[in-house]
Structure 1
């Protein structure tokens, strides 16, 4: 990532870079990229992403190759500030997609959604279009057989999309981007996990007070306890342990 791409400095949180950017700065950066000739990648970073990167070298390498890494987790914002990096705010991808869709509609840019269970991405696209009637958008679910992947790539390229959201979950979505980035003509790719479940309305978002208090993770745990139990109940303490090791290491280094 060059300084021309993202002007804000970065903070390394448990081995993962986090750009110190507000939501409006990210929107401006992404929309600028839609006019560029090369494909750029943006990823959201939360505690689960940091934990996975600490144990999966390929995933970590793929993260380092992203052009923009924003704080999609309140714990990452707190961690970055503790480490001396002034990350201004959490930028949830569930929030980010709406201003991107709004500006895309105004500028005639097209969005492509790929991932999720059958029908979910299509419902998400329909809701985004309801909010922005001029929005150009297409969607495909994530259940594409490997022998039809070439056709999917051709469909994405043929759609003329400017922004591609890939919602396959980590580490699959990062691996998919790494494998196909050079084959895609879309200028911007954002990995987005289970975003389409929330945008479609299949999952109800947490109350505003929980979001503002940094407790959205608890709401998600309540909705999907079996799938997210280990991620939060074991993952959060693991993240804090790794963060504490980083803080101690930095303090020892500064004391020498």
Structure 2
């Protein structure tokens, strides 16, 4: 496998189709995999928080969730094939699970969002076996979620707790389970449930999905400040590498 390191974060050199095929191989071989889909915000957080960086480097795979990562890789002359987002990976894995009757566990989101997402998955992917659910409102230090997942033996566990909670939860609990894919998917349950709309394809093709989200949710502006800071760091790296 080929990896491209950007500011200390090792990104897997892959496209969506190849990545899902890799995860399918892991499932069939009963391997464990910890998946992080990282955007510039996550890279900046890791750069400023060494504990979070250590956690990210524990992951089996880190993929480029965000056009900023892809553009940064190009600028640094270490190009990546393209974006591999959490939402797109989740949908592709659900399609795979529907085809191969894989078992799935859903963890995260508000109770009503989780139930809507579960109902949508059951309708759209009838051959997926949902072996358990848990909303994101639980006592972090006193719960039986990992034990329930271990007993349920899902092939894929989707963790929608937001960054960095979902990555922290996976890193703390994946060791309890014998096999399976554990992937942080952020707000994907909300999109599947229909409570949040993903950017239309037009915006996606222009690589302006981040702007669409900001216009729809202006409260995200503080988080978006990571983008210019990330761009500045990449430009400094490029200049340093050019000398």
Q: Figure out how many residues of one structure are paired with residues of the other and give that number.
A: 242
Task: Report if aligned partners of 2:86, 2:184 keep a CA contact under 8 Å in 1.
Answer: no
Q: What SS does the corresponding residue of 2:14 show, helix, strand or coil?
A: coil
1:94-144: CA deviations, max 9, x gaps? 122122111112212111111112222222122122111111123211111
Q: Tell me if 1:143 matches 2:137.
A: yes
Indicate the residue corresponding to 1:4 in structure 2.
Answer: none
2:222 equivalent in structure 1? 230
Partner of residue 210, structure 1: 203
Which of 23, 33, 57 is the matching residue for 1:30? 23
1:104-143 to 2 correspondences below 5 Å? 104-137=97-130, 138-143=132-137
Aligned to 1:93: 86
Alignment of 1:188 with 2:188, yes or no, is no
Query: 1:211 & 1:102 partners in 2: Cα distance?
Result: 21
Tell me, yes or no, if the aligned pair for 1:41 and 1:188 is still in contact at 8 Å.
yes
Matched, 1:175 2:168: yes
Alpha-carbon distance in structure 2 between the residues aligned to 1:182 and 1:235? 32
Q: CA deviation at 1:37?
A: 4.0
The equivalent position to 1:58 in structure 2, one of 37, 48, 51, is: 51
Q: TM-score, normalised by structure 2?
A: 0.94
Q: 1:90 offset after TM fit, Å? A: 1.1
Unpaired runs of 5+ residues, structure 2, are none
How many angstroms does 1:250 deviate by?
A: 2.0
CA contact (8 A) 1:35 1:187 kept: no
2:214 is the alignment partner of 1:221:
yes
Unaligned runs of 5+ in 1: 1-6
> Shift of the alpha carbon at 1:147?
5.0
State the shift of 1:186 in Å.
Answer: 4.0
CA–CA separation in structure 1 for the residues paired with 2:211 and 2:141: 39
Alignment partner of 1:12 is 2:1: no
Per-residue CA shift, 1:34-93, capped at 9, x if unaligned? 133442111101111111011111111111111111111011111111112221111222
Write out the 4+ residue segments of structure 1 that deviate beyond 4 Å after TM superposition.
none
Provide the rounded CA distance (Å) in 2 between the counterparts of 1:178 and 1:98: 23
Partner of 1:240: 231
Q: TM-score, normalised on structure 1?
A: 0.90
* Secondary structure at 1:190 match in 2: strand
